[in-house]
Copies of this chain bind each other. A is one copy, B any other.
Amino acid sequence: MPTSENDSPPVYREIAEDLRAAIASGELSHGDRVPGENDLMKRYRVARATARQALSVLINEGIVVAIRGSGVYVRTFRPLRRHGPRRLSRELWSTGRAIWQADAADRGFETDSIEIGNVAAPEHISRALGLPAAAPVLRRCRRYRLDGRPMQLATSYLPADLAAGTAIGEADTGPGGIYARLAELGQAPAHFTEEIRVRMPTPTEVDRLHLSAGTPVLDVLRTALTAAHSAVEVNEMTLDGSAYILQYDFDA
């Protein structure tokens, strides 16, 4: 017979709950060291696996990180605000700034591991662009870092014939970026739609974004449309969920 409480939660959950409460109450705060495996084994008189299981709960909730050889620590959370409409206003890119420069004025935002080439469009991309299945598209993959920390992965797709022979196919797309080049072609984006999904990251994403366990990612799929409502670009982004707050403003 167990402790004979009518329906007591498992030990590891109670330990996790104690730690969670200590964090919520401020008794332990950002960056503080959390009691480790050995501490918990002594304090609660449990086996190592049980102590580990308790910690793994908090790790998978993303409120704590384990650092090998060192200890377990309360995670800090300092997200960047990403303003949907404002950052895509025409004034911005028509004056020669790349749109991601709107996110973090003056901070060390930089792009990384760029890859450009023509491919056959995946199904959801050809659909979004209104092209036949597997139509040729120009794909631009890149990674954004802020202060050295990887924040998001982004892949743009444009109809191959539209982009052919322009700076859109170059590593440096020039002042104002892709959207300014599209405008020069008479295909300036006028409307945007963004679709947002949440999920846990794949191992590849964990690696490329340096995610710790318990960190979800945001998938943002943005479609850029001209004034005539033809789709000229689709941008598929994967954001570190602990690094962003998304903001959207609109009218009734």
Contacts and interface: CB of A to CB of B under 8 A. Distances in A.
Contact of A49 (B17, B49, B191): B49
Interface stretch (A29-37, A123-131, A195-203): A195-203
Nearest to A222: B248
Interface in A159-213: 188-203, 213
Contacts of A200: 60-63, 214, 216
12 contacts: A49-B49, A60-B200, A90-B252, A188-B252, A191-B249, A192-B249, A194-B248, A196-B245, A196-B246, A197-B246, A198-B218, A199-B242
Chain A contact surface mostly: mixed
Interface stretch (A81-89, A110-118, A146-154): A81-89
A89 to B, nearest CB: 6
Sorting the interface of chain A by its residue count into under 10, 10 to 19, 20 to 34 or 35 or more gives 35 or more
Given A20-B203, A85-B250, 12 more contacts: A61-B200, A62-B200, A79-B197, A89-B252, A191-B249, A191-B250, A193-B247, A196-B218, A196-B247, A198-B216, A199-B242, A248-B250
Nearest to A81: B195
A106 interface: no
A5 interface: no
A251 B192 contact: yes
Interface in A57-75: 60-63
B195 A250 contact: no
Contacts of A242: 198-199
Nearest to A226: B252
A252 B193 CA distance: 11
A201 B198 CA distance: 13
Contacts of A249: 191-194
Interface centre among A61, A88, A188, A189 (most CB of B within 10 A): A61
B252 A199 contact: no
Contact of A245 (B20, B195, B248, B252): B195
